[in-house]
């Protein structure tokens, strides 16, 4: 068993389903906690082993589809295993981390104010003027952003909102574009639709915007300036890192391109 635990890969044959599952459990228990056990099988007697592993892969073969139906992933020929692990596995791992950051790790703080209550219900009923106080918009960050915008641009309120919000939309879209390594048609469509939705909102709610100002050079150069100041330093930093200290995946990508 010591040899099995120290081995990078283990082939289990001529064993019962329970014995195969026990081998997987021993590897999970005694190997380094950073190691993830992947079990691969093609028959019904491999189901217990596949279900015990962190990742189960079933191969559709002569013994039927029991293993593939019980597994997290199913492949037909065994030769697909390398691509499944090192191409799709790596891409899935990277995408999963990005999705986690964009949803799980950031959605709870955004949704948590739904449960917030600054005063008890009986106090709110006793003092109706508390409702009126919310309309005054006494929020520190909003005040700072707005007054700084007025000082910097010396413009009307509606112009500052138009400039800063448009720059925010463009900055978000550009930062997403800079983070993408390989473009897909759906990514392009997503970027285009996001900006199109903003443009349509301006067209639909024209009463909230100064359309003549949006068509002026005064608006365009301010938006371009803010967006450039927001994105250009990060782009330069990313370029310098890629140029002088590129990560491993960047080196391999460049090597594959040259080859």
Where do the structural domains in the chain lie, given as residue ranges?
A: 1-76, 78-116, 118-258
Counted residue by residue, the chain has a size of 259
The string of pLDDT tens digits covering residues 14-42 is: 899 999 999 999 998 888 777 889 999 98
Kindly state the tokens that stand for 182. Answer: 């390989």
- The most confident of the ranges 66-75, 100-109, 192-201, 246-255 is 66-75
Is-above-0.95 flag for pTM? no
Whole-number pLDDT of residue 24: 92
Q: What is the mean pLDDT of the chain?
A: 77
Give whole-number Cα distances, 98 to 146, 179, 244, in Å: 32, 11, 25
For residue 254, the model assigns a pLDDT of 65
- The pLDDT of residue 106 is 52
| Cα–Cα distance measured from residue 135 to residue 113, given in angstroms and rounded to the nearest whole number | 17
pLDDT digits (tens, 9 = 90+) for 119-159: 677 766 776 766 665 555 445 434 544 554 555 565 555 67
User: pLDDT higher for 80 or 234?
Assistant: 80
- In CATH, the number for domain 1-76 is 3.40.50.1000
Nearest alpha-carbon partner for 52 in 91, 78, 25: 25
| Residue 178 Cα distances to 23, 29, 172, 185, 249, angstroms | 45, 42, 10, 16, 16
SS3 label, residue 33: coil
As a whole number of angstroms, the distance between CA 251 and CA 241 comes to 12
Asked if the model's pLDDT at residue 256 lies above 50, the reply is yes
């Amino acid at each position: 068993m010591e040899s099995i635990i120290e081995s990078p890969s283990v082939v289990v044959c001529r064993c019962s389903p329970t014995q195969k599952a026990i081998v997987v459990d021993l590897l999970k228990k005694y190997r380094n906690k950073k190691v993830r056990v992947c079990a691969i099988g093609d028959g019904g007697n491999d189901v217990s082993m596949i279900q015990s592993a962190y990742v189960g892969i079933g191969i559709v073969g002569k013994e039927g589809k029991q293993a593939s139906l019980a597994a997290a992933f199913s492949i037909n020929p065994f030769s697909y295993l390398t691509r499944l692990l090192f191409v799709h596995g790596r891409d899935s791992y990277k995408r999963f981390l990005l999705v986690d950051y964009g949803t799980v790790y950031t959605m709870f703080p955004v949704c948590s104010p739904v449960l917030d209550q600054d005063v008890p219900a009986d106090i709110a009923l006793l003092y109706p003027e508390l409702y009126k106080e919310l309309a005054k918009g006494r929020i520190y960050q909003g005040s700072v952003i707005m007054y700084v915008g007025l000082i910097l641009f010396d413009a009307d309120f509606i112009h500052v909102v138009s400039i800063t919000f448009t720059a925010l939309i463009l900055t978000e879209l550009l930062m997403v574009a800079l983070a993408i390594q390989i473009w897909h048609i759906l990514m392009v469509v997503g970027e285009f639709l996001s900006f199109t939705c903003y443009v349509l909102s301006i067209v639909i709610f024209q009463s909230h915007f100064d359309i003549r100002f949006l068509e002026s050079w005064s608006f365009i150069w301010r938006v371009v300036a803010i967006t450039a100041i927001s994105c250009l330093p990060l782009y330069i930093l990313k370029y310098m890192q890629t140029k002088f200290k590129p990560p491993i995946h960047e080196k391999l990508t460049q090597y594959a391109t040259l080859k």
